[in-house]
């Protein structure tokens, strides 16, 4: 009997401790929409200060509903802990009762680096068609619109005259003018060496040590995003963190650094968009993670250079 009571107390304490680490609430601005309306869906995550989340892959959980926009996360921090809010704009073009299933949020803590997860609540809403009053009288259509009038003809004549004058000016002053051909200078420095050099130059600036923490996180993530674009052909500079990780996870070489990149970009987002003030070891870890990403994918760069050299030799 005593052993059973002890086990119950331990389980109760563990459940309460887990519940205190992180909680997720999903919601929409209303439960009734018309076809084509913008559906404002949000995820509110509340957590302890020692909890670090991984941005959720929201699109994977949706079926028969379109994602129009994904906003950058908005985070806050106070004495009780911290919170992050994700906002999404959705839409549906057919009537139905829609249920967005629970969203999986993965996270880690300072005390335990093991990957954990928590689920949000499911959200249900209705999408319906516009009500048409069949008993109302049918109204006449509008009269035809005159497309060709005097003003339109004068406008066309002016355009033709301007084009003719422009053509004669081009033939007289520009057509036979010799143009100097500018040959682009090929970049001989390997991409991984060039990127590591940029990281070393950023480190020498000592931005975060001087109080420019946001500038430091913005510049270091831009360097890595530019590296992903040139290394893997991914439009990382034009995408949000969630979209970039989604593309990276589909690349056969990018999957090798998906975990470290997720933590790297998530920490930077909290600083850039939520005005978080990270600890000094987090700032140092950002530089370490950036260099690790380059070193773990440098073999891909070397292989690509070897293939290019073989092609050039074959052409000669």
Give the pLDDT band (50/70/90) at residue 138.
Answer: low
Rg (CA), the chain: 29
Q: What does the pLDDT average to over 18-29?
A: 82
Domain layout of the chain by residue ranges: 21-128, 191-315
Beta bridge partners of 99: 124
The residue length of the chain stands at 316
The answer to whether 205 and 194 are in contact (CB under 8 A) is no
pLDDT at 290 over 70: yes
Question: Counting beta carbons within 10 angstroms of the beta carbon of residue 131, is it exposed (0 to 12), middle (13 to 18) or buried (19 or more)?
Answer: exposed
Q: What is the pLDDT of residue 45?
A: 92
The answer to whether 234 and 241 are in contact (CB under 8 A) is no
Contacts (Cβ under 8 Å, ≥6 apart) of 206: none
Q: What does the pLDDT average to over 47-73?
A: 83
What the block records as the tokens of 195 is: 């990127």
What the block records as the tokens of 224 is: 């890595």
> What is the residue whose two structure tokens read 């040959």?
183
| DSSP single-letter state for residue 255 | G
pLDDT at 315 over 80: no
Give the pLDDT band (50/70/90) at residue 146.
Answer: low
Give the pLDDT band (50/70/90) at residue 316.
Answer: very low
Which helix or strand (DSSP H or E) is residue 82 part of? strand 82-91
Between 99-108, 116-125, 274-283, the lowest mean confidence (pLDDT) is in 274-283
pLDDT at 15 over 90: no
pLDDT at 136 over 70: no
pLDDT at 314 over 90: no
The runs of H, that is alpha helices, within the chain are 2-21, 150-173, 191-205, 213-232, 241-249, 258-274, 280-315
What whole-number distance in Å separates Cα of residue 248 and Cα of residue 240? 12
Instruction: Tell me the per-residue pLDDT of 167-196, one tens digit each, with 9 for 90 and over.
Output: 888 888 776 655 566 665 555 788 888 888
Which fold is adopted by the domain 21-128? Answer: Immunoglobulin-like (2.60.40)
Q: What is the pLDDT of residue 124?
A: 93
Instruction: Tell me the per-residue pLDDT of 215-265, one tens digit each, with 9 for 90 and over.
Output: 888 888 888 888 888 888 877 777 788 888 888 888 877 787 888 888 888
pTM: 0.40
Q: Which of the pair, 166 or 59, is modelled with greater confidence?
A: 166
């Amino acid at each position: 009997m005593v052993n059973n009571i002890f086990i119950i107390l331990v389980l109760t304490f563990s459940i309460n401790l887990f519940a205190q680490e992180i909680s997720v609430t999903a919601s929409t601005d209303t439960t009734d929409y018309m076809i084509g309306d913008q559906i404002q869906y949000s995820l509110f995550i509340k957590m302890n200060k020692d909890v670090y989340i991984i941005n959720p892959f929201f699109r994977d959980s949706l079926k028969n509903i379109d994602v129009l926009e994904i906003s950058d996360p908005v985070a806050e921090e106070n004495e009780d802990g911290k919170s992050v809010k994700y906002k999404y704009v959705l839409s549906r073009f057919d009537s139905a009762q829609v249920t967005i299933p629970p969203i999986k949020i993965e996270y880690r803590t300072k005390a335990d680096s093991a990957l954990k997860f928590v689920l949000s609540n499911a959200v249900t809403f209705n999408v319906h068609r516009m009500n048409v009053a069949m008993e109302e009288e049918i109204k006449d259509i509008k009269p035809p619109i005159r497309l060709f009038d005097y003003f339109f003809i004068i406008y066309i004549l002016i355009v033709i005259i301007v084009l003719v004058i422009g053509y004669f000016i081009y033939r007289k002053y520009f057509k036979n003018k010799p143009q100097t051909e500018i040959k682009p200078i090929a970049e001989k420095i390997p991409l991984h060496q060039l990127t590591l050099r940029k990281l070393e130059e950023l480190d020498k600036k000592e931005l975060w040590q001087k109080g420019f923490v946001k500038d430091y996180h913005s510049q270091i993530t831009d360097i890595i995003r530019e590296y992903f674009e040139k290394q893997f052909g991914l439009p990382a500079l034009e995408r949000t963190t969630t979209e970039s990780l989604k593309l990276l996870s589909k690349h056969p070489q990018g999957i090798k650094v998906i975990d470290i990149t997720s933590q790297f970009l998530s920490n930077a987002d909290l600083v850039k968009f939520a005005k978080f003030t990270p600890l000094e070891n987090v700032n140092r870890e950002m530089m370490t993670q950036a260099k690790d990403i380059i070193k773990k994918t440098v073999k891909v760069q070397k292989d690509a250079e070897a293939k290019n050299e073989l092609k050039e030799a074959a052409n000669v």
